Structure 1
Amino acid sequence: MSTIIQVGIVGFGLSGRYFHAPFLSINPRFHLKKIASSRPDAVHEFDSSIEWVATADELFADPSIDLVFICTPNETHVDYARRALEHKKHVVVEKPFATSEREANQLLELAQQQGCIATAYQNRRWDSDFLTIKRLLNAGALGTLVEYEGRYDRYSPVNVNARTWKEQPGVGRGNLYNLGPHILDQALHLFGAPDSVQAAIRIIRPNSLINDYFDIKLGYADKVVRLESSLLVYHNALRYSLHGTEGSFIKSGLDVQEERLRLNQLPGEASWGTEPQDRWGTLYRNGQSEQLESEQGNYTPFYDNLYEAIVNKAEPAITPNDIRQLARVIDLALESSQTQQVMPF
């Protein structure tokens, strides 16, 4: 393999088109060579120099491809990733990495046998708000953290005329698999494996065919951790609420990178990921409140680390253990919601 990694993408919807292709196209250490998609016009519109193929098998059969991004419907992730690994390709799998802990383990074991990297795309670790929270916690700004609440809400009423796969029932479908991996991964990244998992997973939107709300409590001996998401929140007023022995931090709004990517802006300019002041969080301590400028969000470090992991054998930012823990939490959340019991981790 040359020092420039040859990349293929399977699927060119929101993830492939707006998240991966822009970052890959401006990074000189990657060459986005080939895309397998049912939308050739979208591929050519993005970059006419990229080769289009109709099927994933055509892409996997190309011996020059070193790395494949799997950006297809959730229930297909494991099968496509397995076939890519069987062709000795490194793989990045969109969330969810797998639809069960068992499948995640099988895929990771195959990657190890093939001598390949298999990792998950957890871009929200590089959101401006989460980077700001990490900075505050590392500095001890809140004292000892005792309560952490993370929300990821959207206003997405059911459109009965739409045919999007995300609104159809099936394995790996629903909000727990859609937005859940983002905020669950963030909490596990901060606090490690929990002692227990307790969850309520529901349908709250009229005419919804999928679960669209969840409330998950991760049990830790020294803190309360709660993660919640709804697809029927019109005003996204609360993102994070952290309370410690010496202060609190409250944060609203979402990272700006997705908005800018959807506007066909390419990452790279100096202002990329800079959050407007009306989204900055507020730190409360010592009887005072202070609006804190958010850290600059940027998903580029994910790709930089990926290059180092493939070429120089560095540890992937999202490790096999991270992937297993998240898959296990989702499995336990589903079981907890069904049995109305607290599940030991």
Structure 2
Amino acid sequence: MSERVLNVGLIGFGLSGRYFHAPFLSVNPRFKLKKVVERSKNEAQDFDPTIENARSVDELLADTSIDLVFICTPNDTHFSYAMDALENGKHVVIEKPFANTEAEAKQLFDVAERNGLIATAYQNRRWDSDFLTIQKLIQEDKLGKIVEYESRYDRYRPEVLPNTWKEKQAEGSGNVYNLGPHLLDQAFVLFGTPQTVTATIRSVREHSDVDDYFDIHLGYEDKMVIIKSSLLVYENSLRYSIHGTKGTFIKRGLDAQEETLRKDVLPDVENWGAEPEDRWGTLYSDHFTGIIPSEAGDYMAFYDSVYDAIVNGQELAVKPAEILRTTRVIDLAFESNERQTTISY
């Protein structure tokens, strides 16, 4: 194993920087979280006094010791910040959405390749406990041939929050860009590239300026894949309904890693990622009907993949071609909704 330690800079220290990236980077000896961009606050130092502060993106990118930059800022800034980082010789991890269009994503990968750098998207939901459990069930043929897969990520936020960028019109705003990349990426990991995309995208809350509901149908030759999200679902525990020729799997509740991180628990504790038993899913089949214990979630696998790609030349877990596919399908979903028709991939 290489003894090299990657120096990391974070652009932004909100929910993503503070509660997702900083904890994992702080306990993984392969990384050193060196510097964080905060224009006026000092919350990074409250988390770890050894973290240096940068008051601007330019200041961070001018630090020649920084190897890798995580971009944890509003969606309309992802492309420009990522481009600046790549042009300054930094590897980049970009929060979802990786880019707001397929064309932008291609530009970023072109610059990364030209400069010999790694660029990837933070698709941490590949390592959710429930998704790992579903992958195992499919690999073990417990469900048979999948004929219908529905994945939901709903919330109940009836009031439009006035002081958050997520509720304001801007490039990359809205629920499709916020939660869509996670659900799409999971579906593609399981089933590959779809043949068609059919989408309904709406604003269902009063006074909402952004889309807060989507229903995207991905057409495959032998199955229907549905991903949905709404911010106006009071009983929002349902996550997956999967039907196959041998059985059905129903899963409720969310992976526990985010809520654990929000309690300031670092991801080096025993039984990290273990899901509470009351969230375990149920398999229904002739062979077995009952509760299926969830696999332990582990977002650290993402960070190890990034390290191995940069230092050891290994293939990224979240590959450029996969990211381009997700951005393309989001483009097609908006086109499908606008034209009210099914679009071929």
TM-score computed with the length of structure 1 as normaliser? 0.98
Contact kept, 8 Å, 2:3 with 2:30, in 1: the verdict is no
Structure 1 segments, 4+ long, off by >3 Å, are: none
For residues 106 and 252 of structure 1, the distance between their equivalents in structure 2, rounded to whole angstroms, comes to 38
Q: 1:81 to 1:284 in 2, by over 3 A?
A: same
- Which residue of structure 1 lines up, in the alignment, with residue 121 of structure 2? 120
Matched ranges for 1:70-89 at <5 A: 70-89=71-90
Q: Does 1:296 align with 2:287?
A: no
Matched ranges for 1:44-63 at <5 A: 44-63=45-64
Matched ranges for 1:95-174 at <5 A: 95-159=96-160, 162-174=162-174
- Code of the residue aligned with 1:118 in structure 2: it is A
- Which residue of structure 2 lines up, in the alignment, with residue 278 of structure 1? 278
Q: Does 1:342 align with 2:342?
A: yes
For residues 48 and 271 of structure 1, the distance between their equivalents in structure 2, rounded to whole angstroms, comes to 27
- Which residue of structure 2 lines up, in the alignment, with residue 182 of structure 1? 182
Unaligned runs of 5+ in 2: none
Task: Give CA-to-partner distance per residue, 1:207-234, whole Å, 9 cap, x none.
Answer: 1110000000001001010000001112
Q: Does 1:3 align with 2:4?
A: yes
Task: Give CA-to-partner distance per residue, 1:266-303, whole Å, 9 cap, x none.
Answer: 10112211111110000000075210100000101001
For residues 288 and 66 of structure 1, the distance between their equivalents in structure 2, rounded to whole angstroms, comes to 50
Q: Secondary structure at the match of 2:274?
A: coil
- Which residue of structure 2 lines up, in the alignment, with residue 214 of structure 1? 214
Q: C-alpha displacement at 1:38, in angstroms?
A: 2.7
Q: Secondary structure at the match of 1:267?
A: coil
Contact kept, 8 Å, 1:8 with 1:33, in 2: the verdict is yes
For residues 160 and 142 of structure 2, the distance between their equivalents in structure 1, rounded to whole angstroms, comes to 44
Contact kept, 8 Å, 1:40 with 1:52, in 2: the verdict is no
**CA-atom RMSD in angstroms:** 1.2
Contact kept, 8 Å, 2:42 with 2:53, in 1: the verdict is no
Matched ranges for 1:202-281 at <5 A: 202-281=202-281
For residues 119 and 157 of structure 2, the distance between their equivalents in structure 1, rounded to whole angstroms, comes to 32
Unaligned runs of 5+ in 1: none
For residues 135 and 9 of structure 1, the distance between their equivalents in structure 2, rounded to whole angstroms, comes to 34
- Code of the residue aligned with 1:208 in structure 2: it is S
Task: Give CA-to-partner distance per residue, 1:88-125, whole Å, 9 cap, x none.
Answer: 10000000000000000000010000000000000000
For residues 323 and 343 of structure 1, the distance between their equivalents in structure 2, rounded to whole angstroms, comes to 19
Task: Give CA-to-partner distance per residue, 1:152-182, whole Å, 9 cap, x none.
Answer: 111122245x311000012100000001111
For residues 106 and 131 of structure 2, the distance between their equivalents in structure 1, rounded to whole angstroms, comes to 28
TM-score computed with the length of structure 2 as normaliser? 0.98
Identity %: 58
Q: Secondary structure at the match of 2:289?
A: strand
Q: Secondary structure at the match of 1:179?
A: helix
For residues 113 and 140 of structure 1, the distance between their equivalents in structure 2, rounded to whole angstroms, comes to 42
For residues 270 and 286 of structure 2, the distance between their equivalents in structure 1, rounded to whole angstroms, comes to 35
- Which residue of structure 1 lines up, in the alignment, with residue 68 of structure 2? 67
Contact kept, 8 Å, 1:34 with 1:51, in 2: the verdict is yes
